[in-house]
A and B are shown apart, each in its own frame.
Chain A
Amino acid sequence: MGVWYTLTAFCFMLFAGVLALIMRTQLAVPDNDLVSASTYNQLFTLHGSAMMFLFAVPMFEAVSIVILPQLLGARDLPFPRLSAFGYWSFLLGGVFVLGSIFFNVAPDGGWFMYPPLTTRTDLSGLGADIWMLGLSFIEVSSVAAAVELIVGVLKCRPPGMRLNLMPLYAWYILVVAVMILFAFPPLIAGDLLFEMERLLGWSFFYASRGGDPLLWQHLFWIFGHPEGYIIFLPSIALFAMLIPTFSQRHLLGYPYIVLAAVGTAFLSFGLWVHHMFATGLPKISLAFFSAASQAVVIPTGVQIFAFIATLAAGRVIFSTPLLFATGSLAIFVIGGLTGVMVAIVPFDWQAHDTYFVVAHLHYVLMGGTLMPLFAGLYYYWPLVTGKKLSDRLGRTAFWVLFAGANLTFFPMHLSGLMGMPRRVFTYPAELGLGGLNLASTIGAYLFAAGVLIVCIDLALSPTRPKGRRNPWNAGTLEWLAMPESEHWGIRSIPLIETRYPIWDQPDFMRKVDEGRFFLPDAEEGRRETIITTVLDARPVAVVRLGTPSFLPMFAAFALGGVFILTTYHLYWPALASGALTLALVLRWLWTTAEIPEKPCKPIGHGIELPLYISGTQAPGWWAMFITMMADATAFSGLVFGYYFFWTVHEAFPPPGMTGPGSHWPMAALALTAASWAATVGARAANRRGLVTTARLLLSGGALSAIVSIGAGLAGPWLSGLDPAVHSYGAIVWVIACWTTAHAAVGAIGQLYALARSLAGRATPTHDADIRNVTLYQHFLLFTALVTWLTLGFFPGVA
């Protein structure tokens, strides 16, 4: 599945690259008319959107899904069916968004989609909906993959692999997946507001109806800036794997690198305003965000110098992957330095939205995403296929790519400062920019030739013989993989004592192969892997992994149906597709958390582990927890909207407009609290064996949650709040709908737990379902508290 995922993302990258070539051809000479303005706007919108949403992020997730199990010596990630769901969503969403250009209805508002250009239905068409809904769908799949990766890193490590022994790639996966978890939801919240405005006319971004276009910019860049680091950190992670290999020594400064990665992630959420330096925000906040943007240099510098120090301390073996790695570092450093320049506010006032920024971001992405990916490709190809790629072709490709990238993007620094704005389909000859643009165009074709050489190398690979195991003589766990890899992955799951076990643990490979470690056999013929504790990787259970199934694919297509049908305003079919999605997901969940035929099984060395776990030790609980963190983040995006509107209006709610009052919101809150208390009680009762009490409590909780929906919506409904008149009504309605929809999901969860209990799939000792439902209710209670207190009381306080 991971390999298909990677291949699909690679194809989307090639497609987006071709779009860029058409653009460069159009810009080769001034006043060119190869493509029309309309086509050009679709090209650059799709190029940026595809590279970001269909290539960079999915590529990271795909590669991680391929190599994470190997890095952890696990048989597979904890939720293979979730990976499958993510892949099918990605494929369907990607084809839907990219295919639109063949029908001349591709999005044309830029990848940043600033309203009101994109929300006014008289100024933008179907393309805007395709962008919003198609990519929201992809965002859901990205978050799903992030959940999978986080749980994988936290719960599926081999015994003994404490956090400080984790391969750095796993650390970066953890950091980046957590970033995805907190970065994508604000955008999903923004998408929700955006489509409410486009499809239903609710007012969020129209100044004349109390909205503000800047709200979108905040939500977009709270996502958009971390996105830059989300796609850059995985490359650093690849370097952190291959530089020790080609220096034949441990990476220097492991703790600094981990701290730097975490620090980068943390800082990246505090920089978004540097995309908005020219929007007229107060100078003091610009100064703050300028300083914060500079600060990100420090963790980045630490990581780069750790690599340099490792190379200097070790015995360097020159190789194609290392050539790509060092070459991309050189390019990245230039991009980083221009990044410091544009983080300086006055300079940004000149450079912003010019080709200088195009140069900067492409240097960063070439050096920080694409070229490192080629390094990773040449490094890990033997791991996946058992064969090395050609050194000769690889080196040729590198130099062509290196020259092409510099020739394309270096002149753009100058053309930008000489007055060339971004996103222009043409430029007049009188500006004197023809020469620089022609150079960029030639560079782009050179770069494309380099990509072509890589593709040829890949295409020749099947004709080459298999090589030896661990061909680079690396020290990390993933290189245990055999060229003729078996179906079940690693032979036995090892005990880890060092960061580079192949180098440092005597006879390591032989012991793994001879099955001298854990879980060497699958007596019951089931796919199993070991679950360990989060901090110190003590084994706690053996879990059985899902088998291949069509359910995830059907669920992905049904969910895709919701988004795609909504794009074409087919609301009833979309609703039906939504119901189908729900049914398929419930059917899918029904197969999980099965009660095993025996409570425990031995994994070797006299250790016996349970086959069933629930609560905080279980992967399912963690997946729920992580998903709900993302959900709470999206919710906080909406709440941010409420308070943002309050700050930009002198009176909010506006004079003459009444809110939902406080009675109905308080009733909704009380009912949600009752539903929560019933669930908590049901969990406790079930644990004590009071199954009937637990069932009654679950039923009562569900009833209470359903009634809370009515109470929650009654407030704005009965006070006649119209979401189309003013942003106040719109934001109140959207938050009320969000929370009541969550109450509805809560009720479904409670009824699901009830059904599991009735069907005998949940018992006092096997209570994973009810514990996960309880966890959901904790988050629901928090959401309800914030919602109903804000909507009910804040108008009086403000």
Chain B
Amino acid sequence: MALALSGCNRRQSTFATFGEEAAAIDHLALVMTIGAVAVAIGVAALMIWAMRARPGALSLRGGERLILIAGGLLPVLLLLVLLGYSLPVMRPRAVAPADMRIDVTGEQFWWRVGYAPPGGNPVTTANEIRVPVGRTVLFRLRGADVIHSFWIPGLAGKMDMIPGRTNELVVRAVRPGLFRGQCTEFCGLSHALMAFDVVAMEPDAFERWLASQRQPAAATAPATAHVGAALFSRYGCGGCHTVRGTGQDGAIGPDLTHVGGRRTIAAGALPNGEEAIAHFIRYPARTKPGVRMPAFPHMSEADAHAIARYLGDLR
């Protein structure tokens, strides 16, 4: 199945698997598709035969036998086989205490991400998820405001994020690469624009990256060196956003401590870059209708760009 579609972009496709769970389901899908095509052709052929058969081609007894065998017995057998084959696929992988835990909370319309490595300090980021290849990862999924759903097609099936509940999803990535995930439970105006990048990394690289994320922002971009840092504070951005190490510690919006290192901004809605950030700061709802972030239409172009440059340097 994947072969026929190899020409397409496959960052968010169930055919381009990079996790064991998604691969098992892809295999299941292939088997079921073959079966479904066979049954469809069989029924169609039978129907054409029935239309063209001479009158009385089927006796009363023959007809009743056809109904009971083709309509009753055959489906029972086929479905029993299918259930026996498919149900084991849903058994979740076992999780050990030493496995990585990642907390993801869906919020209108972005993702709050927290890494809780066994024995290490937790790290908070947003709108980007990185997983180590070959290691079991437990996602703990929550919904902050409304119901969202967490879906990384290449890695595993989806799981809802429901306010008041914590759902778990266990995965294991098997090859490194850059992928994409998206919200799949309708969650309001910008539901379509609630995506995230997924980076599967070799374990060593992942550990290095996690260590760098744990650092405060000051280590990469000293606030004193930036006019943007002062503007960030002056416009009150810190009321909602955190930039660790600079005293800006709002917890309403995404953590921006290392925002410059992400591939996209605004939950996958825009490519990361000075121009995009400056535009988003002034008119966020033009990119994402219904966004909670207020617009800053009176902020000067220069100020917006200064802040954008500062944020871009937070790697």
Q: Which residues of A contact B (CB under 8 A)?
A: 36-38, 41, 109-110, 114, 116-117, 120, 123, 206-208, 211-214, 252-253, 256, 260, 278-280, 283, 286-287, 290-291, 294-295, 297-298, 301-306, 308-316, 318, 326, 329-330, 333-334, 337-338, 340-341, 344-350, 352-354, 414, 417-419, 421-428, 430-432
Contact = CB atoms under 8 A, between A and B. Distances in A.
B30 to A, nearest CB: 11
B164 to A, nearest CB: 2
Contact of B162 (A213, A290, A303, A316): A213
Task: Rank and list the top 9 A-B pairs by shortest CB-CB distance, nearest first.
Answer: A349-B157, A207-B164, A419-B12, A424-B192, A280-B167, A432-B9, A309-B63, A305-B71, A302-B71
B14 A419 contact: yes
Contacts of A314: 55-56
Interface in B285-300: 289-290
B63 A310 contact: yes
Interface in B111-152: 141, 145-147, 149, 151
A117 B162 contact: no
A418 B13 contact: yes
A340 B82 contact: yes
B267 interface: no
B189 A37 contact: yes
Contacts of A303: 71
A312 B184 CA distance: 45
B24 interface: yes
A302 B186 contact: no
B289 A36 contact: yes
A312 B72 contact: no
Interface stretch (B87-95, B272-280, B304-312): B87-95
A38 B29 contact: no
Contacts of A309: 50, 58, 62-64, 66-67
A347 B167 contact: no
Given A38-B189, A305-B67, A348-B157, 15 more contacts: A37-B189, A37-B190, A117-B147, A213-B162, A252-B60, A252-B64, A297-B79, A298-B72, A310-B63, A312-B49, A313-B60, A316-B55, A417-B29, A428-B268, A431-B11
Contacts, number: 266
B227 interface: no
Contacts of A287: 87, 90
B101 to A, nearest CB: 16
A229 B83 CA distance: 23
Interface of B: 5, 8-15, 22, 24-25, 28-29, 32-33, 36, 39-40, 43-44, 46-47, 49-53, 55-60, 62-64, 66-68, 70-72, 74-76, 79, 82-83, 86-87, 89-92, 108, 141, 145-147, 149, 151, 153, 156-160, 162-165, 167-168, 180, 182-193, 268, 289-290
Given A278-B160, A297-B79, A350-B22, A304 B43 contact: yes
Contacts of A306: 67, 71
B263 to A, nearest CB: 11
B163 A41 contact: no
A253 B65 CA distance: 10
Given A329-B47, A344-B32, A350 B14 contact: yes
19 contacts: A38-B189, A116-B146, A117-B146, A206-B163, A278-B160, A279-B167, A287-B90, A297-B75, A298-B76, A302-B71, A305-B70, A308-B46, A312-B66, A313-B62, A344-B32, A347-B32, A349-B156, A418-B5, A431-B11
Given A330-B44, A419-B13, A123 B188 contact: yes
Contacts of A340: 32, 36, 79, 82
Contacts of A208: 163-164
Contacts of B66: 305, 308-309, 312
A419 B180 contact: yes
A278 B142 CA distance: 13
A346 B23 CA distance: 11
B158 A352 contact: yes
B56 A313 contact: yes
Contacts of B63: 252-253, 309-310, 312-313
Given A256-B67, A297-B79, A341 B32 contact: yes
B78 to A, nearest CB: 9
B163 A116 contact: yes
Contacts of A334: 36, 40
A468 to B, nearest CB: 24
A280 B168 contact: yes
Contacts of A260: 71
B149 A326 contact: no
A348 B28 CA distance: 11
A702 B147 CA distance: 47
Contact of A294 (B25, B83, B158): B83
Contacts of B147: 114, 116-117, 213
B109 to A, nearest CB: 10
B55 to A, nearest CB: 4
Nearest to A283: B90
A308 B87 CA distance: 32
A302 B67 contact: yes
A312 B87 contact: no
A304 B71 contact: yes
A341 B29 contact: yes
Given A313-B60, A345-B90, A213 B163 contact: yes
A349 B12 CA distance: 15
Contact of B192 (A212, A279, A427): A427
B159 A278 contact: yes
Nearest to A339: B36
B305 to A, nearest CB: 25
